[in-house]
Amino acid sequence: MAKLHSKLIWTILFILLLFIGYLYLVPGQKQDSQRNAPIVAVTTAKVETKPMISSVSSLGTGIANHSISLIAPTSDFITELNVREGKAVQRGDVIARLHDVQERARVTELEGVLDEQKRQLNRLKNLATTQATAQSLLDEQQTKVNTTLAQLDIARAQLAELTISAPFSGYLGLRQVSVGAYVNSGTTITTLDDLNVLRVAFSVAEHYLAEINVGMPLFVTNAAYGDIRFNGTVSAIDTRIDPLTRTVTVHGTITNADLRLRPGMLLNVQLELDNHMAMQISERALVPQQQKQFVYKVAADNTVSQVEVVIGQRTPGWVEIISGLQQGDEVVVEGTQKLRSGVAINRVGG
């Protein structure tokens, strides 16, 4: 029995010695393995503070700021035509005149009649002061004057209709008729467009409606001009949502003094929803684990440690850092798959 107890004690002591040896041996092996571990080649970048721009893209159509078709108000011959295709005109410039001999004669006739009636009215007024004429004659003459004056206003309006003038400053389009042609009422003579300011109409998903305001900056590009950007602002937002597409129509205005943009153009619109300064890193540096985001932060001795970060907005290629890093911190952008905390790195590329 004593021998059995002694043997059991020696067995326990032997196992205990093996366990103590394991505790001393394994950490040493880990340290040796870490010292002998290969240095991982990675690409790094520093945390930057720069503008974080949130935007939405859409396709739009160019629209003239003001645009009309100049049409003949009545049927008659064209006696004067001042259409210089593509040329600028000022408000009030005469574009065309229709045959107006009869209307001018009618105005001249009524002006003469009105002058004579006014002289008779003044004569009756003078006689009325001496009680030499009846008040009824004076009233009758006043009625004649008023009637002729109304007829003259109508005749002058009819004469004015035969002169087609520019209602606003702009650029004339293609000529549709010639001098001497007989035109019917409603015939288009030419077009007039105000091109110094171009409007762009585009649609935005209703999801962004709460973020859009009048005055927001936007820019457009067009295939004819490559990467050249034309800057503008939001000028109007439709009060209705399209029930089929669930989009809202937005209008922007763009200064177009050089006339490079034209109505009808297909425009690529970039609407800037937000622009603020933020700490940012490349989205390639993120290492997602479950519901959290991590990065590998580089220490002064060129080793890395895994750090949890809280992210904010995303833009193509970049992500905002809310917490977890500081301005100027260096993080691994490429090569994160080979890393774990404590591993030394070698910077390559950039």
244-267 in b/e form (b: 16+ CB < 10 A) is eeebbbbbbbbebeeeebebebeb
Q: Which amino acid is at 125?
A: K
For 39-103, give the DSSP string: PEEEEEEE-EEEEEEEEEEEEEEEEEEEEEEEE-SSSEEEEEE---TT-EE-TT-EEEEE--HHH
Domain ranges of the chain: 56-64+194-275, 74-189
pLDDT at 34 over 60: no
CATH topology of domain 56-64+194-275: Elongation Factor Tu (Ef-tu); domain 3 (2.40.30)
Cβ pair 331, 285 in contact under 8 A: yes
Q: Using one digit for the tens of pLDDT, what is the confidence trace for 289-346?
A: 988 999 999 998 889 999 999 998 888 888 989 999 998 899 999 888 888 888 888 8
Band of residue 13 on the pLDDT scale cut at 50, 70, 90: low
Q: How many residues does the chain have?
A: 350
Apex CA 156: angle with CA 154 and CA 159, to 5°? 110
Encode pLDDT of 107-127 as tens digits.
Answer: 888 889 888 888 888 887 777
> Contact at 8 Å (CB) between 274 and 52?
yes
